[in-house]
Amino acid sequence: MNSNTILIPVAVVAGVALLAVLSLWSRTQALDALRKWAEAEGLELVSATQRSFVPLWCSGKGYQFFRVTVRDKVGGNRRAWVRCLDFNSAEPHNIEVTWDEKSSA
């Protein structure tokens, strides 16, 4: 066995591990931004589910998409699609929200 036979699988495993860590970190950053956004809007984040497949009108490269449910101060729930920038740009001011019509989740 030469060194290339060992290095290639090690590099592949390291690359996959790095991508997994970056993905987890990016998701954590986005969820933190969602919590901050909800708080700033006077809402409570009830649930946030990351989505890979989204309606065409809100798709785009370099974004993370979430399906969220929030609760307002009077206890009413609303659902929305949320789009936020990937990686370190996931901040509350980089969040775009499209509310469902008359949602009562």
Q: Is 7 inside a domain boundary? A: yes
- In angstroms, the CA 79 to CA 57 distance is 17
Query: What element of type H or E holds 83?
Result: strand 77-85
Q: Is 104 inside a domain boundary? A: no
The 10s digit of each residue's pLDDT in 71-102 is 999 999 999 988 887 655 556 677 888 899 76
Q: Structure pTM?
A: 0.70
Query: β-pairing, 63-71 with 95-99?
Result: unpaired
Q: How many domains does the chain have?
A: 1
For residue 51, give both structure tokens.
Answer: 């989505």
Q: Is 51 inside a domain boundary? A: yes
Q: Is 38 inside a domain boundary? A: yes
The 10s digit of each residue's pLDDT in 2-25 is 777 888 889 999 999 999 998 788
Q: Is 105 inside a domain boundary? A: no
Q: How far is CA 87 from CA 5, 67, 82, 94, in A?
A: 33, 18, 15, 11
Q: Which domain holds residue 22?
A: 3-99
Write phi, then psi, for 22 (nearest 5 degrees): -60, -40
